[in-house]
């Protein structure tokens, strides 16, 4: 079993120490581990070309065409059975570098897109190199650690929930997560034995999940969450008692008893969470339907669009000095 540790923080600061502590605990469980300091890697922002997804029906491998260090991470990821990621909170959410990796990894590693394509190729009798890398489809697990300087969770509210954006596209099941806020006063996590013990527990949980079928692995993290699928506490409330978990994209029913809020998510809704296969498939089919609708419309209105675009070309653009 192989575990890849990813730190999005500074060299030898909080995130790095915590990822390495989790990896050390996983190693004691027999895992083969490796560590990546993301700031040492050149990961550029997604340009939105959609070349990754669009290459699939043409027999491509769904990989990004940008030439930077992503391919090194991709290979390490494909080899791994699990990841342990720690990311600092910058401005209430994960640092931008994390989101850059999310955007580059998301569509290119979307499990439903790749699974639908692989099944199509198998049905067409394709074999060997004509198929997608089989390692894409193994059951994978993750432990997530959000690191914040602020004393209260108030300033890290969007950290941990947003860290799931890296795991759900590839169908990686999060088995444990830690909201390591209040680091500003601590100096070093190495002076906080409770946090170090908790981090070791996360490392052990991830190691113990490796090699098991996804459905056989239970949540090993703490209690006290609202959503039973992603184990976060964010809710989108749109003025009725029907509320949404924005991480999973599923609907639940909210009730209040005294001071206690309860949200019930039906089994069917839980199944269609984007953290599970069904939720991703729903979105994959939605995206695949766009072309048939938008394509003919663009062709029919080509001349009209050309005229309507004219005033927008170069409009008030700030030019870079040469
Ligand atoms: C640009 C920037 C923004 C930050 N914003 C927040 C914040 O909104 N909430 C918070 O709790 N900590 C915030 N911090 C503090 C970091 O999360 C904290 O220093 C953390 O330990 C950095 O991770 P590292 O030690 O692994 O590098 C911010 C730090 C920086 C540099």
Give how many domains the chain has, as a whole number.
1
**82 CA to middle of ligand 1, Å?**
26
What is the reported pLDDT for 107? 82
Can you tell me which atom of ligand 1 is nearest the CA of 18?
26
The answer to whether residue 54 is domain-embedded is: yes
Collapsed DSSP state (helix, strand, coil) of residue 10: coil
* Ligand 1 center from residue 169 Cα (angstroms): 26
Nearest CA to ligand 1 atom 15: 149
**What is the 8-class DSSP label of residue 111?**
H
CA 17 to centroid of ligand 1, rounded, Å: 15
pLDDT at 7 (0 to 100):
98
Q: Return the structure tokens found at 94.
A: 């994960």
pLDDT per residue as tens, the chain (322 positions)? 999 999 999 999 999 999 999 999 999 999 999 999 999 999 999 999 999 989 999 999 999 999 999 999 999 999 999 999 999 999 999 999 999 999 999 888 899 999 999 999 999 999 999 999 999 999 999 999 999 999 999 999 999 999 999 999 999 999 999 999 999 999 999 999 999 999 999 999 999 999 999 999 999 999 999 999 999 999 999 999 999 999 999 999 999 999 999 999 999 999 999 999 999 999 999 998 999 999 999 999 999 999 999 999 999 999 998 8
Q: Whose CA is nearest to atom 3 of ligand 1?
A: 90
Dihedral of the alpha carbons of 151, 154, 159, 164, in degrees to the nearest 10: 130
pLDDT the model gives residue 251: 98
- Residues in contact with ligand 1 by the CB-under-6-Å rule are 9-10, 13-15, 88-92, 147-150, 155-156, 181, 183
Question: What does each C-alpha distance from 28 to 31, 200, 201, 208, 247 come to in angstroms?
Answer: 7, 10, 11, 11, 32
The verdict on residue 246 lying in a domain is: no
pLDDT at 129: 94
Q: How far is the CA of 93 from the centre of ligand 1 (A)?
A: 9
Domain-embedded: residue 267? no
Query: Token digits for 195?
Result: 């946090």
Angstrom distances, CA of residue 27 to CA of 35, 71, 142, 192, 286:
12, 25, 15, 21, 41
Residue 309 lies in a domain: no
Residue 262 lies in a domain: no
Cα 147 to ligand 1 centre (Å): 7
**Rounded-to-integer distance, Cα 156 and Cα 244, Å:** 20
Name the residue of 13, 89, 150, 162 whose CB sits within 8 Å of the most ligand 1 atoms, as the mutation to test its pocket: 89
> Which amino acid residue places its CA nearest to atom 28 of ligand 1?
90
Query: How high is the pLDDT of residue 109?
Result: 87
Residue nearest to atom 6 of ligand 1 (CA): 90
- Kindly give the number of the ligand 1 atom that is closest to the alpha carbon of 8: 26
Determine the Cα angle at 30 with ends 146 and 162, to 5°.
15
Supply the CATH number for residue 139's domain. Answer: 3.40.50.360
Domain-located, residue 172: yes
In a domain, 316, yes or no: no
Q: Is 12 left (phi over 0), alpha (psi -120 to 50) or beta?
A: left
Instruction: Look at residue 109 and tell me if it is in a domain.
Output: yes
Which range marks the domain in which residue 29 is found?
2-222
């Amino acid at each position: 079993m192989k575990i890849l540790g990813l730190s999005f923080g500074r060299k030898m600061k909080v995130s790095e120490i915590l990822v390495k502590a989790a990896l050390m605990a996983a190693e004691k469980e027999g895992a083969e581990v490796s560590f990546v300091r993301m700031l040492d890697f050149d990961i550029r922002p997604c340009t939105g070309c959609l070349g990754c997804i669009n290459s699939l029906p043409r027999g491509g491998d769904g990989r990004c065409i940008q030439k930077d260090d992503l391919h090194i991470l991709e290979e390490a990821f494909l080899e791994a059975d699990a990841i342990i990621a720690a990311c600092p909170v910058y401005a209430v959410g994960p640092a931008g570098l994390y989101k850059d990796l999310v955007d580059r990894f998301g569509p290119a590693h979307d499990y439903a897109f790749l699974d639908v394509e692989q099944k199509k190729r198998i049905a067409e009798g394709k074999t060997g190199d004509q198929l997608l890398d089989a390692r894409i489809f193994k059951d994978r697990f993750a432990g997530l650690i959000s690191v914040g300087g602020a004393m209260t969770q108030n300033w890290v509210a969007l950290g941990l929930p947003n860290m799931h954006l890296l795991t759900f596209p590839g169908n990686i099941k999060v088995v444990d997560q830690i909201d390591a806020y209040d680091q500003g006063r601590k100096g070093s996590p190495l002076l906080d034995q409770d946090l170090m013990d908790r981090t070791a527990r996360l490392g052990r949980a991830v190691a113990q999940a490796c090699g098991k079928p996804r459905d056989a692995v239970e949540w090993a993290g703490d209690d006290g969450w609202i959503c039973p699928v992603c184990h976060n506490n964010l809710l989108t409330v749109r003025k009725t008692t029907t509320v949404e978990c924005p991480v999973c994209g599923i609907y639940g029913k909210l009730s209040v008893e005294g001071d206690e809020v309860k949200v019930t998510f039906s089994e069917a809704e839980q199944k269609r969470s984007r953290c599970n296969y069904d939720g991703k498939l729903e979105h994959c089919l939605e995206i695949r339907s766009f072309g048939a609708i938008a394509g003919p419309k663009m062709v029919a209105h080509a001349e009209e669009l050309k005229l309507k675009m004219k005033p927008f070309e170069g409009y008030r653009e700030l030019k870079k000095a040469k």
